[in-house]
């Protein structure tokens, strides 16, 4: 009789508890390059390509491709978000102002930038912990210019390695699919 009573109580208890909301990218806030909060919720309704960047990396030329991608798709709703990180080879030593100036002068970057952020390990920013969990071990950043694509609904879509070129077919087709799902 006692197990039946306990089981009945548990069924009633869990039936009355509202379902926990799914965590999305919109639940996280980075810090903008200007030092102000950068809530990812401000991008609701827009796919977002989040890229950990570095100014002194062999892949730094990808800033050019990221800006090209942003210009090609921003009017359709794409947001590219650069997240400078010094986690890989200490290749982002600059201050926020130095990073912003470097990106603007050398690559004409107009897409939003976050402040320098930890993207790996035990001190990783909460967004990167969440995205890494969504991506699994193979999809976690292993170097600069690792990319995460977030859907217009804030859900994780996928990841692209450092070597994936911003204007390459893999990223472009994923961005186009994400944009078409917002219509």
Catalytic residues: 106
Domain residue limits, the chain: 23-180
Q: Picking from 16-25, 61-70, 97-106, which range would have the lowest pLDDT averaged per residue?
A: 16-25
**Average pLDDT, integer, range 52-67:** 98
Read off the pLDDT band of 182 (50, 70, 90): confident
Read off the pLDDT band of 2 (50, 70, 90): low
Position 14 pLDDT exceeds 60:
no
**Average pLDDT, integer, range 87-91:** 97
| CATH number for the domain formed by residue range(s) 23-180 | 3.40.30.10
DSSP character string of the chain: -HHHHHHHHHHHHHHHSPPPPPP-GGG-EEEBTTSSEEEGGGGTTS-EEEEEE-TTSTTTTHHHHHHHHHHHHGGGT-EEEEEE--TTTT---S-HHHHHHHHHHHH---S-BBPP---SSTT--HHHHHHHHHH-GGGS--STT-EEEE-TTS-EEEEE-TTS-TTSHHHHHHHHHHHHTT-
């Amino acid at each position: 009789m006692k197990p039946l009573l306990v089981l009945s109580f548990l069924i009633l208890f869990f039936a009355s508890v509202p379902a926990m909301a799914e965590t999305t990218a919109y639940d996280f806030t980075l810090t903008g390059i200007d030092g102000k909060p950068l809530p990812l919720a401000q991008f609701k309704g827009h796919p977002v390509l989040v890229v950990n960047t570095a100014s002194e990396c062999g892949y730094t030329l990808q800033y050019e491709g990221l800006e090209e991608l942003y210009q090609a798709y921003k009017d359709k709703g794409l947001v590219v978000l650069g997240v400078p990180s010094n986690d890989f080879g200490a290749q982002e030593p600059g201050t926020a102002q130095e990073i912003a100036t470097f990106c603007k002068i050398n690559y004409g970057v107009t897409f939003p930038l976050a402040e320098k952020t930890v993207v790996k390990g035990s001190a990783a920013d909460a967004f990167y912990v969440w995205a890494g969990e969504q991506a699994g071990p193979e999809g976690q950043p292993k170097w600069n210019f690792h990319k995460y694509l977030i859907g217009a609904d804030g859900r994780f879509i996928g990841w692209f390695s450092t070597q994936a070129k911003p204007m390459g077919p893999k990223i472009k087709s994923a961005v186009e699919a994400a944009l078409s799902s917002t219509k």
